[in-house]
């Protein structure tokens, strides 16, 4: 299951934690969130990013068949 946790600390810094994403999916999702926030006038600048081990995994597509 994919999960995004967003925290804003006392100084106003925003911290994102993406769980369950593979490859670059988390970065694509982050861009969607930042775009949505900007529509509401919230500008977030990315200062740091740390990749988890999942970021190095290839995205696999599940193919379901019924016989």
Distance in angstroms (rounded) separating the CA atoms of residues 32 and 26: 10
Q: Phi and psi dihedrals of 25, rounded to 5? A: -55, -40
Residues 6+ apart with CB under 8 A from 39: none
Q: Domain-by-domain residue ranges, the chain?
A: 3-50
pLDDT at 63 (0 to 100): 53
Distance in angstroms (rounded) separating the CA atoms of residues 11 and 23: 31
pLDDT at 61 (0 to 100): 59
- Token readout for 35 is 């775009």
Total-model pTM: 0.71
Percent helix, strand, coil in the chain, to 5, is 30, 20, 55
pLDDT single digits (tens) 13-61: 889 999 988 888 899 999 999 999 999 998 888 888 888 887 777 766 5
């Amino acid at each position: 299951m994919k999960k995004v946790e967003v925290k804003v600390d006392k100084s106003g810094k925003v911290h994102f934690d993406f769980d369950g994403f593979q490859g670059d999916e988390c970065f694509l999702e982050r861009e969607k969130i930042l775009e949505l926030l900007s529509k509401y006038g919230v500008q977030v600048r990315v200062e740091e990013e740390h990749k988890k081990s999942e970021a190095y995994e290839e995205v696999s597509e599940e193919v379901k068949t019924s016989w």
